[in-house]
Chains A and B, each alone.
Chain A
Amino acid sequence: MENEIIKIENLRRTFRVGNEDVHALKGISFTIYSGEFVSIMGTSGSGKSTLLNILGCLDKPTSGEYNIDGVNVGSLSKNQLSTLRNRKIGFVFQSYNLLARTTALENVELPLLYNNTVSSKERRERAVAALQAVGLDNRMYHLPNQLSGGQQQRVAIARALVNDPVILLADEATGNLDTRTSYEIMTLFQQLHDQGKTIAFVTHEPDIAVFTTRTIMLRDGHIINDCPVEPKSAKEALENLPQSDDY
């Protein structure tokens, strides 16, 4: 049996808006095992952003259990959560969130700056390795505004990989990209998955979810569907794209 990376049991999250309680998550349970490539799907308002915030240790559940890599998140302080994010989680955002006027390499180094156990020499080496892993070793000293959207997202993925996290959390990571670039990014994610990375991919696009190995469908704070799928190859999809030259 593979390791349980994420284990959620009867998770609830309630927000208080004015005098009303809004139940964003109404008791959901699932487990993500090491080496899985999970897509979490749902329409706007289904609770997937709330779930992602909790999975990313940015938010705590109102009730229920959340264990990441054997650590019970519910009992941790704010600072402990920060450290947990720094060591175990890699975030990839829809809008890349790279620091402007900062080179790709320095952007990738950023998470390790907040890790005192990493020397500056090791930091540099690991950042270079991460950029190589996403195929940007020739763009290390470029600034974000000198890179295309796809390249910026690759830098962001390198930044998520640099601390060697137990899970990559991607939030609509292809949402700002065109189809071709989306497929390129998905190809990269599939490669990382083949190398053994565990990935949770939040999206509302079904044609992106087909590249994953398992789909969890949320609606109104409940899981309505959780089933393994036979993933399509993003590489093939990319090759099958018509060679359009309209852009």
Chain B
Amino acid sequence: MNILNLIKIAIKALLRNKSRAILTMLGIVIGIASVIAMVSLGQSSTLSVQNQLSSMGSNMIMIMPSHQSRGGVNLGSGSSKALNEKDLKAIRANARYVSAITPMVSSAAQLVFGSNNHPGSIQGVDACYLDIRKYELESGIMFDENDVKKFAKVCVIGKTVAKELFTNGENPVGQTVRFGTIPMKVIGVLKSKGQNQMGQDQDDVVLAPYTTIQKRFMAITHYNMLFASALSEEQSEMAATEITYILRSTHGITNSSDDDFDIRTQEELLTTMSSITGLLTVLLAAIAAISLVVGGIGIMNIMYVTVTERTKEIGLRMSIGAQNRDILMQFLAESVILSLIGGIIGIIFGLLLSYVGCTLLKWPYVVSQTAIILSFLVCAATGIFFGWYPAKKAANLDPINALRYE
């Protein structure tokens, strides 16, 4: 019997018991829909975490001096004077995987404008800090190399600071604010970035040339930390290794346990976060897969009922010349068609479900092609696997007994 007739006969047989076929299909629909929805939502959550991290600069590398202890008291990171201009120049000159690097020194004080004031810290950085941290200017300009050279009393402020100080709707650019006793001219306002995933307000910043902070505010020559940018996200590990070696040579360190600095990449954070969401995805998909198996058992059950019900038909078909193979294929075709149609409906439902989920959670919507193709194959396999035994039972019936079956 050719395949077309086989499919025609199978569909006709399924249509004879419409409600039964639909209910059997429902098991597969629910199974596939939940697998698709879970995998898609899982991927969306991973992507959303990745997006958040890369909005901070996913190729960012932080270099901090190690903890320093004095008399058994841990003074915390940034307390040592390990990083200085020599290190900065060495890295600028030698690192091949680093696209930009900026020192950072920070000082805390009260910001005052007119009758408004705001507690904050002022961060002394180089002009390339904006690129490294993925900040953008909303208005005004960023200070440049000249400002850095001249210890210029200029600053760029974040949205939150602007809102706190300029309550009467003044344009912050061009105004002068006092930082403690030192007047600083605001030359730019940053675009809002909102909170990072740790809940910190990324708009509560004041940036100034690092030389200004070093000379005018703190009278120091070292840096609190360095921010660097790797050429790409993938190269950030290599860049970190490279920086480690450069710093060891400038600091004259031969043993890695003597390192007086710490290097952190966003990559590490990303890996941790992704592995958590990945694990959740796998767990949820596994639970969904169980419902798929239950659906498959439903098919098997119904196919057994169908075979018993149609024993006489099987006997007749055999008596007029159907071979065992023909009978096997006929019942297998029914279960495969049942599960494939169920699978297609399930895929559609699953995609809808994950779309609604992503919209509600404000996650990026991801259509996982692998999940769809895999589900489709799983459906076909389910149909064959769970349809095989009932079909085999039908094919092995003895035509004489089957014909006499009441």
Chain A residues packing against B (C-beta within 8 Å):
53, 56, 58-59, 78-79, 82-83, 85-87, 91, 93, 97, 99-102, 110-111, 113-116, 120, 159, 163
With contacts A97-B316, A99-B316, A116-B2 taken as known, whether A59 is within 8 angstroms of B321 at the C-beta atoms is no
Contacts A/B (CB < 8 Å), 5 sampled: A59-B400, A79-B325, A91-B320, A97-B316, A120-B5
Q: Which residues from chain B contact A163 at a C-beta distance below 8 Å?
A: 320-321
Distance between B301 CB and nearest chain A CB, rounded to angstroms? 22
How many angstroms between the C-alpha atoms of A217 and B317 in the bound complex?
30
Q: Are A79 and B2 in contact (CB under 8 A)?
A: no
How many angstroms between the C-alpha atoms of A115 and B321 in the bound complex?
8
Q: Are A58 and B400 in contact (CB under 8 A)?
A: yes
Chain B residues packing against A (C-beta within 8 Å):
1-2, 5, 9, 12, 16, 312-313, 315-326, 399-400, 403
Q: Are A85 and B324 in contact (CB under 8 A)?
A: no
| Nearest A residue (CB) for B398 | A58
Q: Are B399 and A114 in contact (CB under 8 A)?
A: no
Q: Are A86 and B320 in contact (CB under 8 A)?
A: yes
How many angstroms between the C-alpha atoms of A65 and B325 in the bound complex?
28
Q: Are A85 and B320 in contact (CB under 8 A)?
A: yes
Distance between B331 CB and nearest chain A CB, rounded to angstroms? 15
Q: B1, B321, B325, B403 — which one has the most chain A CB atoms within 10 A of its CB?
A: B321
With contacts A79-B324, A114-B323 taken as known, whether A97 is within 8 angstroms of B312 at the C-beta atoms is yes
Q: B12, B312, B319, B326 — which one has the most chain A CB atoms within 10 A of its CB?
A: B319
Q: Which 7 A-B pairs have the closest CB atoms?
A: A86-B321, A111-B320, A114-B321, A82-B323, A97-B316, A85-B321, A79-B323
How many angstroms between the C-alpha atoms of A87 and B321 in the bound complex?
8
- Given A83-B323, A91-B320, A99-B316, 15 new contacts (CB under 8 A): A82-B318, A82-B322, A85-B320, A85-B321, A86-B321, A91-B319, A93-B316, A97-B315, A99-B313, A102-B12, A111-B320, A114-B326, A115-B321, A159-B320, A163-B320
Distance between A190 CB and nearest chain B CB, rounded to angstroms? 24
Q: Are A58 and B1 in contact (CB under 8 A)?
A: no
Q: Are B316 and A101 in contact (CB under 8 A)?
A: no
Contact of B317 among A83, A110, A120 (CB under 8 A): A110
Q: Which residues from chain A contact B399 at a C-beta distance below 8 Å?
A: 58
How many angstroms between the C-alpha atoms of A101 and B320 in the bound complex?
19
Q: Are A85 and B319 in contact (CB under 8 A)?
A: yes
Distance between B156 CB and nearest chain A CB, rounded to angstroms? 80
Distance between B20 CB and nearest chain A CB, rounded to angstroms? 14
How many angstroms between the C-alpha atoms of A113 and B47 in the bound complex?
54
Q: Which residues from chain A contact B318 at a C-beta distance below 8 Å?
A: 58, 82
Q: Which residues from chain A contact B323 at a C-beta distance below 8 Å?
A: 78-79, 82-83, 114
| Nearest B residue (CB) for A159 | B320
Q: Which residues from chain A contact B400 at a C-beta distance below 8 Å?
A: 53, 58-59
Distance between A100 CB and nearest chain B CB, rounded to angstroms? 8
Contact of B5 among A58, A59, A100, A113 (CB under 8 A): A113
Q: Which residues from chain A contact B322 at a C-beta distance below 8 Å?
A: 82, 114
How many angstroms between the C-alpha atoms of A82 and B397 in the bound complex?
13
Q: Are A93 and B403 in contact (CB under 8 A)?
A: yes
Q: Which residues from chain A contact B324 at a C-beta distance below 8 Å?
A: 78-79, 82
How many angstroms between the C-alpha atoms of A142 and B29 in the bound complex?
36
Q: A79, A111, A113, A120 — which one has the most chain B CB atoms within 10 A of its CB?
A: A113
Distance between B6 CB and nearest chain A CB, rounded to angstroms? 9
How many angstroms between the C-alpha atoms of A116 and B6 in the bound complex?
13
How many angstroms between the C-alpha atoms of A34 and B91 in the bound complex?
105
| Nearest A residue (CB) for B6 | A113
Q: Which residues from chain B contact A79 at a C-beta distance below 8 Å?
A: 323-325
How many angstroms between the C-alpha atoms of A100 and B323 in the bound complex?
21
Distance between A22 CB and nearest chain B CB, rounded to angstroms? 15
Q: Which residues from chain B contact A85 at a C-beta distance below 8 Å?
A: 319-321
Distance between B10 CB and nearest chain A CB, rounded to angstroms? 13
Q: Which residues from chain A contact B16 at a C-beta distance below 8 Å?
A: 100-101
Q: Are A58 and B321 in contact (CB under 8 A)?
A: no
Distance between A84 CB and nearest chain B CB, rounded to angstroms? 8
| Nearest A residue (CB) for B2 | A116
How many angstroms between the C-alpha atoms of A86 and B323 in the bound complex?
10
How many angstroms between the C-alpha atoms of A139 and B318 in the bound complex?
26
Q: Are A110 and B1 in contact (CB under 8 A)?
A: no
Q: Are A114 and B313 in contact (CB under 8 A)?
A: no
Distance between A221 CB and nearest chain B CB, rounded to angstroms? 18
Distance between B103 CB and nearest chain A CB, rounded to angstroms? 83
Q: Are B313 and A110 in contact (CB under 8 A)?
A: no
How many angstroms between the C-alpha atoms of A89 and B128 in the bound complex?
92
Q: Are A56 and B319 in contact (CB under 8 A)?
A: yes
Q: Are B316 and A82 in contact (CB under 8 A)?
A: no
Q: Which residues from chain A contact B403 at a C-beta distance below 8 Å?
A: 58, 93, 97
| Nearest B residue (CB) for A120 | B5
Distance between B385 CB and nearest chain A CB, rounded to angstroms? 25
How many angstroms between the C-alpha atoms of A172 and B324 in the bound complex?
27
